[in-house]
Amino acid sequence: MRHGPRATRIVPLVGLLLLLGACQTPPEAQRESPTPEPTVEVVAEGLQAPWSLASYRDALLVSERDTGKISELLADGSTRVLGTVPDLEPAGEGGLLGLAVQRDSLFAYYTTAKDNRVLRFGLEGDPGELALGRSTVILSGIPAGRIHNGGRMAIGPDDLLYVSTGDAGDPANAQDLKSLGGKILRVDADGQVPEDNPWPDSPVYSLGHRNVQGFDWADDGTLYASEFGQNTWDELNEIRPAGNYGWPRIEGFGADADFRDPLQVFAPAEASPSGLCVGKDAIYLAALRGERLYRIPLADPEQSQTLLTEQYGRLREVQCAADGSLLILTNNTDGRGTPSDTDDRLLRFTPRPTPLP
């Protein structure tokens, strides 16, 4: 049943925030088994097309795609608006997308009338009374469109900012090293190119992407990313510097040594993956069109399992907490979902350990 009434209470945010810390097999061989799950708890509700979460000290920040608001989630489940991103032009899949925090700086990825940009704000005050300080655009000229704007950001183990971009509806962008579209970018806090990037004076870290909206690192430093396919296969990829992931030449598995194959693929109707996080022993992938959460064991990516299938609608973001629980943003008010009276919601979910078959 869609959006079933399994989430029965709102849980305090205090304490939960402290927990936030931190093989190429043909698709027909993938084995998928449903996994029983416990009751899901609601942390917050009434959000409008939320897109990203970011933790700062004991605070949790959330972006809303269409309103451009950056809000702090308070302990009682309510929200407090810190500010609105300037020059925002939300349209289609564009708007205020990813957030990332590095020390006292907040990075926001957003769409203007001309391009996608990354804005850095100072963060001022204490949790409960936070404010946005001075802002500076550190990246601009990222192709924008009604579709495929990418938008995920995170601070890597190397303390640098990683940014995913989409092809903006023009597949040729993904293979063009002069374009910032269809890439994963790597820059410092000022938007400058690190000396050890794969191509001199270029922020490009990997290319050949259609639309990456989720990535995270395992404890061993391996970077994993989710990617929207077109009509055939969505992908889970292991990202390597200078790696070329094939779009638009290849979707899913190919036979060309110039391109890297995915670790796992999914039918778009069952996935359309957005947010991704890596837990202790598994990757969790939030699916929009598929309305489910995938659990993909690091030891055997073929053994994907599904959780929360068609219970809470479209799932946009997932973050792994240190205690094994997950924070999940639904995305039913984005124009493509069927919202309930309390959508959109931030959920807390603790998967049960499930032995693989």
Between CA 98 and CA 85 the distance in angstroms is 12
Q: Going edge to edge, which strands form the sheet with 69-73?
A: 50-56, 59-64, 69-73, 79-84
pLDDT of residue 1: 40
DSSP state of 244: B
Cis peptide before 323 (omega within 30 of 0): no
The strand pair at 116-124 and 105-111 is best described as antiparallel
- Indicate the burial class of 149 (C-beta count within 10 angstroms; 0-12, 13-18, 19 or more): buried
List the one residue out of 183, 234, 233 whose CA is nearest residue 209.
183
139 within some domain: no
Q: Classify residue 303: in a domain, yes or no.
A: yes
Q: What are the residues whose beta carbons fall under 8 Å from the beta carbon of 249, sequence distance 6 or more?
A: 175, 208, 256, 259
Query: pLDDT tens digits for the chain (357 residues)?
Result: 444 434 434 455 555 554 555 433 344 445 555 554 467 999 999 999 999 999 999 899 999 999 999 999 998 888 999 999 999 999 999 999 999 999 999 999 999 999 999 999 999 999 999 999 999 999 999 999 999 999 999 999 999 999 999 999 999 999 999 999 999 999 999 999 999 999 999 999 999 999 999 999 999 999 999 999 999 999 999 999 999 999 999 999 998 999 999 999 999 999 999 999 999 999 999 999 999 999 999 999 988 999 999 999 999 999 999 999 999 999 999 999 999 999 999 999 998 765 544
Asked if residue 95 belongs to a domain, the reply is no
What CATH number did the domain enclosing 323 receive?
Answer: 2.40.10.500
Is residue 321 within 8 A of residue 300, CB to CB? The reply is no
pTM of the model as a whole: 0.91
Structural domain contains residue 115: no
CB 317 within 8 A of CB 329: yes
Query: What values do phi and psi take at 17, rounded to 5?
Result: -65, -30
Distance CA 319, CA 275 (A): 8
Structure confidence at residue 32 (pLDDT): 53
Judge contact between 112 and 96, C-beta under 8 A.
Answer: no
pLDDT reported for residue 39: 73
Is the separation of the CB atoms in 232 and 255 below 8 Å?
Answer: no
DSSP labels, 175-236: G-TT--TTEEEEE-TTSPPPTTSSSTT--EEEE--SBEEEEEE-TTS-EEEEE--SSS-EEE
Domain assignment of residue 348, yes or no: yes
Domain enclosing residue 272, as ranges = 18-46+267-357
| Torsion-angle region of 151 (φ positive above 0: left; ψ -120 to 50: alpha; else: beta) | left
Six-digit token pair at 329?
């943003």
Number of residues assigned to the chain: 357
Closest CA to 80 of 39, 132, 35: 132
The structure tokens listed for 101 are 């925090």
Is residue 214 one of the residues assigned to a domain? no
Q: Looking at residue 27, what is its pLDDT?
A: 43
Do residues 154 and 102 touch, judged by C-beta distance below 8 A?
Answer: no
42 domain residue, yes or no: yes
Contact by Cβ (8 Å): 272, 334: no
pLDDT of residue 36: 47
In a domain, 220, yes or no: no
| Pairwise CA distance, residues 138 & 118, whole Å | 6
Cβ distance 205 to 184 under 8 Å?
yes
> Residue 37: what pLDDT?
47
If one counts the domains in the chain, the total is 1
